[in-house]
């Protein structure tokens, strides 16, 4: 979730996902690394999924076929499909959050800036 949110830049999702990660035992340092796009310290069993999620988001939900094949090879077809479902759900949430910020910015005639 954090890898996709880092690419899409939704502040609401960043907050919610970071909070959930903290509850799950992820350290604040690890969260900062993921939100900055750094996946070097991911646990080995999760690294492929996190790197793939980042690639998926950076490619605007159009990953290259070799990346999809490696994901399926690493986790199996069923788990890869579950990962894709989660990625689409996270993307939808990010798009909604960013759209909401743009709406607030527009109706305030630019006085309310989302990143301030």
pLDDT per residue over 49-103, tens digit each? 999 999 999 999 999 999 999 999 999 999 999 999 999 999 999 889 989 989 9
Flag whether pLDDT at 116 surpasses 60: no
As a whole number of angstroms, the distance between CA 68 and CA 108 comes to 42
* Cα 26 versus chain centre, distance: 15
What are the residue ranges spanned by the domains of the chain? Answer: 2-107
The first and second tokens of residue 88, run together, are 């689409």
Residues in the chain, how many? Answer: 116
For the entire predicted model, the pTM comes to: 0.80
pLDDT score at 20: 92
As a whole number of angstroms, the distance between CA 8 and CA 61 comes to 11
Flag whether pLDDT at 107 surpasses 90: yes
């Amino acid at each position: 979730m954090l890898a996709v949110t880092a690419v899409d830049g939704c502040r609401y999702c960043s907050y919610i996902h970071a909070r959930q990660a903290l509850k799950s035992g992820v350290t604040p340092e690890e969260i900062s690394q993921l939100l900055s796009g750094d996946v070097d310290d991911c646990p080995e069993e999760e690294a492929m999924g996190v790197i793939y999620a980042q690639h998926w988001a950076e490619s605007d939900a159009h990953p290259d076929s070799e990346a999809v094949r490696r994901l399926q090879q690493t986790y199996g077809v069923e788990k890869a499909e579950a990962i894709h479902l989660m990625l689409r759900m996270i993307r939808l949430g990010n798009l909604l959050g960013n759209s909401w910020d743009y709406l607030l910015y527009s109706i305030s005639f630019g006085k309310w800036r989302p990143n301030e």
